[in-house]
Amino acid sequence: MNKTPLLIAAVLLAGATVSGTASAREFDKIYKECGLGAMIFTDTPVAAAFSNIIWDLGTTASSSDMSSPENCKGKATTAAAFITNSYANITEQTIQGEGAHLTAMLDLLGCDEAQRPALVSALRNDLSQEMASGDYRQMSAYDKAGSLHELVTRRTGLDGAQCASAS
C-alpha cells in the first residue's frame, strides 16, 4: 500500500493547523508553489511541500502567498524569500563584493557569470547610498530586506531577466 498520499495529507494538515491563516488558495498549492520549499525544489512539488513544513512550519510559504500570491514559484518570490532570510549575509557580502549568499542570490535570479562583477559593483553602490540615508537606521530588518530586494529588482528585473545586461 502506498502511504505517500496519506503522509502528504498529514503534513499539509499539520501545516494548515500551525499556520493559522488561510487564503483563497488551497494549502497544498501554497506549500508546493511558495516559500523556501519551492525555492529549493523547483521541479518537485511534493518535496517543496515537505521542505516548507520541515524548514519553518510553512511560515515563508504562507507569508509569500499572502503578500504576493501571483508571484509564487517565480524567481522574484524565490529571491525575496532568500533575501529576507539571508539579509545580513547578503548585505555584508555585497559590500565585500563576494560571498556564498551573494552568489546564491545571483544564481537564483539566473544572472550571467560574465555580468556579475558589474552587477555586484552597481549593487554595492546602490546599497552604500541606501545605508547612508538617515531613514535606513530607523528601518526594521524586514524593511531593510525589502529595500535590498527593491535594489536587486531594479538592477536585475523582477524575474532576473535583466541579469545578462545589468550594469
Mean pLDDT value of segment 51-74 = 68
Residue 167: DSSP 8-state = -
Confidence (pLDDT) at 122? 94
Q: Which helix (H) or strand (E) holds 43?
A: none
Amino acid 47: pLDDT: 79
What is the tens place of the pLDDT at every residue in 120-154? 999 999 999 999 988 888 998 888 988 898 888 88
117 Cβ contact list (under 8 Å, min separation 6): none
Q: Give the containing element (helix H, strand E) for 156.
A: helix 141-156
Q: If phi over 0 gives left and psi between -120 and 50 gives alpha, with beta otherwise, what is residue 98? A: beta
Q: What is the pLDDT of residue 45?
A: 78
How confident is the model over 91-106, as pLDDT tens digits?
Answer: 999 999 999 999 988 8
User: 5 pLDDT band (50/70/90 cuts)?
Assistant: low
Backbone angles phi, psi at 109, to 5 degrees: -85, -5
Phi, psi of 53 (to 5 degrees): -70, -45
**CA-wise closest residue to 61 among 112, 111, 69:** 69
> Which residues, other chains included, contact 82 with Cβ-Cβ below 8 Å and sequence gap of 6+?
39, 104, 105, 108
